[in-house]
């Protein structure tokens, strides 16, 4: 490196380090910038795994980042035996631990499926909810399972079968994050929402008021016709992402499986802490064009963020949108994260109150050149254009 460019690099570094923080951020300053991107998993490159899919990401209460994915052992199929793969970062995503497999279903014909991750801030635990035998392929019944970490993701409990408490039903959590209510009503409650089987589909939430020890069934938004074969364009709410608004209501952004009413997202809201999802609170967000996929949604400092492959037909064009009007409208200046094949996505951010942590959100998504299931990619987004 020449002395001049070395000096330039040094002064750039210094200005980055010393530049004044965006101490009071206002929503109209939002100008998201893809700040860093790295691949966390590449399908077909690790001996025991054929395909990595269904990425989840969360911050722990200690500020570590945990990323999870299904490691599908012998094919890219939703059925079959799998691992839950995890990587952990203690420097906000700059570097990551090697992959560890925290759950292994052996050679099961219809093993585990992710899933929702959630953090209980009161006890500092991380909880993963996943399903087992969801497709009833050479097995029955379907079970809802849970593992928990009490040491910031380093070690995990043996799987616990929640179907003993919830009753046997086919329930696939998320995929995405579950929430712990921060505001009334039901402050402290754990809320995990997911969907049912193809015929008994719909959005269902399971709830815990004792930090995940006991779970009970909460809200349901059932498909129509319920428990019957669906036709194209029937009402079939499916995979979903709940998040809490600053007023304490829970908004759930939902996959519109059969393109009922539009090729766009279904949105529904609960005002009673996840006990009910009234039909009155259902609407269709025409701006959020969608090919029927699991999408990412997040509320941070009063601003909503949404990621999906923004295309009516195909899983391509992974796009970040944001709303400064609580979801009533979306800013027209969307940010394209990846033009090519892209599938499921999920988001997290750290709400520590520090100005530095206010600047970033973190996205994890399925990304490929030819097919969206080639890699799982992690993206750090600077919300204020790098300033």
Q: Which residues bind ligand NAG (CB under 6 A)?
A: 132, 141, 143, 161, 163-164, 168, 310-311, 317, 319, 334
Residue 236 is a catalytic residue: no
* Residue 197 CB, nearest approach to ligand NAG (Å): 16
Report the nearest approach of ligand NAG to the CB of residue 267 (Å): 17
CA distance 204 to 197: 11
Nearest distance from C-beta of residue 92 to ligand NAG, angstroms: 28
Sign of CA dihedral 193, 291, 295, 298: negative
CA distance 191 to 117: 11
Please, which residue, 51 or 310, has the CB nearer to ligand NAG? 310
Which of 261, 263 has the CB closer to ligand NAG? Answer: 263
* Catalytic residue chosen out of the listed positions 36, 37, 78, 152: 78
| Measured CA angle at 126 (ends 50, 302), to 5 deg | 100
Say how far apart CA 359 and CA 21 lie, in whole Å: 9
Closer CB to ligand NAG, 47 or 106, in the complex? 106
Locate tokens 């999408």: which residue? 295
* Closest CB 289 distance from ligand NAG, rounded Å: 6
Are 54 and 114 within 8 A, CB to CB?
Answer: yes
Is position 37 annotated as part of the catalytic site? no
Residue number, 99 or 319, with CB nearest to ligand NAG: 319
48 in active site: no
Q: Is 70 a catalytic residue?
A: no
- Residues carrying an active site annotation: 78, 239, 344, 366
């Amino acid at each position: 490196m020449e002395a001049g460019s070395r000096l330039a690099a040094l002064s750039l570094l210094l200005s980055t380090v010393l530049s004044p923080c965006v101490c009071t951020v206002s929503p109209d300053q939002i100008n998201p910038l893809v700040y860093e991107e790295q691949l966390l998993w590449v399908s077909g490159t690790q001996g025991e795994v054929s395909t990595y899919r269904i990425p989840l990401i969360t911050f722990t209460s200690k500020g570590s980042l945990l990323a999870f994915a299904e490691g599908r052992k012998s094919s890219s199929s939703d059925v079959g035996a799998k691992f839950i793969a995890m990587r952990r970062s203690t420097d906000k995503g700059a570097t990551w631990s090697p992959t560890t497999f925290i759950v292994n279903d052996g050679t099961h014909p219809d093993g585990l499926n992710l899933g929702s991750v959630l953090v209980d801030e009161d006890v500092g635990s991380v909880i993963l909810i996943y399903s087992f035998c969801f497709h009833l392929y050479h097995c029955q019944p379907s079970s809802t399972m849970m593992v928990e970490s009490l040491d910031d993701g380093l070690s995990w409990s043996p799987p616990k079968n929640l179907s003993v408490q919830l009753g046997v039903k086919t329930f696939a959590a998320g995929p995405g994050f579950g929430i712990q209510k921060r505001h009334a009503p039901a402050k402290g409650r754990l809320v995990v929402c997911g969907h049912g089987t193809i015929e008994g589909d719909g959005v269902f939430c399971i709830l815990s008021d004792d930090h995940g020890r006991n779970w009970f069934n909460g809200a349901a938004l059932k498909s129509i016709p319920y428990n019957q074969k669906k036709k194209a364009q029937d009402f079939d709410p499916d995979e979903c992402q709940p998040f809490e608004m600053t007023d304490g209501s829970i908004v759930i952004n939902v996959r519109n499986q059969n393109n009922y009413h539009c090729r766009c997202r279904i949105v529904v809201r609960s005002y009673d802490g996840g006990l009910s999802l009234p039909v009155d609170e259902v609407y269709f967000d025409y701006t959020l064009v969608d090919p029927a996929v699991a999408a990412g949604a997040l509320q941070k400092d009063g601003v909503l963020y949404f990621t999906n492959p923004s295309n009516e037909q195909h899983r391509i064009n992974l796009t970040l949108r944001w709303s400064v009007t609580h979801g009533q409208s979306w800013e027209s200046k969307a940010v394209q994260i990846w033009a090519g094949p892209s599938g499921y996505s999920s988001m997290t951010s750290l709400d520590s109150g520090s100005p530095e942590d206010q600047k970033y959100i973190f996205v994890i998504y399925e990304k490929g050149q030819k097919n969206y299931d080639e890699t799982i990619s992690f993206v750090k987004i600077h919300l204020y254009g790098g300033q």
